[in-house]
Amino acid sequence: VALMMVCAQDKSPAGARDSALLAVLYGAGIRRGEVVALNLEDYNQELGSLLIRAGKGNRDRRAYLASGAVEALTDWIELRGLEAGALFWPVLKGGKLRAQRVSYQGVLHILQRRSEEAGLKAFSPHDLRRTFISHLLDAGADLSTVQRLAGHASVQTTVRYDLRDEEAQRRAVGLLHVPRFRGYQSKV
């Protein structure tokens, strides 16, 4: 939330781009390399989805965006324009957009700068992916669906991303009810 607030307070094109970038990384749970490789034509506004081409394991998949991510991406595209090519562009000093792909290292730099502005401890773009997976599982999404959304070949990989603590496990068990029928009668 703090990261998104910092971006929202920045009324420059960089604020709109960074807001959309964060929203896509967290709201679709995609990898940094996947977000860098996105093109405008990979975005389907009707479905609120992104086509991830040749993701890890060289597999294509569709990633769906959370509602807030759709709005942030719509704002960025409105500013960026409908020119074909890279979805995320560098923003130069003075707010001028450069019609080229933001770099892999550029994404890291953007996140580091925004986390510093928000007063957060350092984190990696992959932490947004872990959070996406944990939040989906915590909200009740089934493991198999989360695995497919994350683009993991194995459910075991998805499980390793789960950051939830023992409290989540306790709440999960609380969802069950074990019927009890007394069979044994104490003679006391």
126 is catalytic: yes
- Based on its alpha-carbon atoms, the radius of gyration of the chain, rounded to whole angstroms, reads 21
161 is catalytic: yes
109 is catalytic: no
Is the Cβ–Cβ distance between 29 and 133 less than 8 Å? yes
64 is catalytic: no
The secondary structure of residue 39, as a DSSP letter, is B
Catalytic one among 17, 26, 31, 114? 31
121 is catalytic: no
Catalytic one among 59, 98, 109, 126? 126
Nearest alpha-carbon partner for 103 in 24, 36, 177, 34 = 36
Catalytic one among 56, 130, 135, 148? 56
Is the Cβ–Cβ distance between 95 and 13 less than 8 Å? yes
Catalytic one among 17, 61, 114, 161? 161
114 is catalytic: no
What is the pairing mode between strands 61-64 and 43-44? unpaired
Beta bridge partners of 62: 51
Catalytic one among 17, 32, 114, 129? 129
* Catalytic annotation, residues: 31, 56, 126, 129, 152, 161
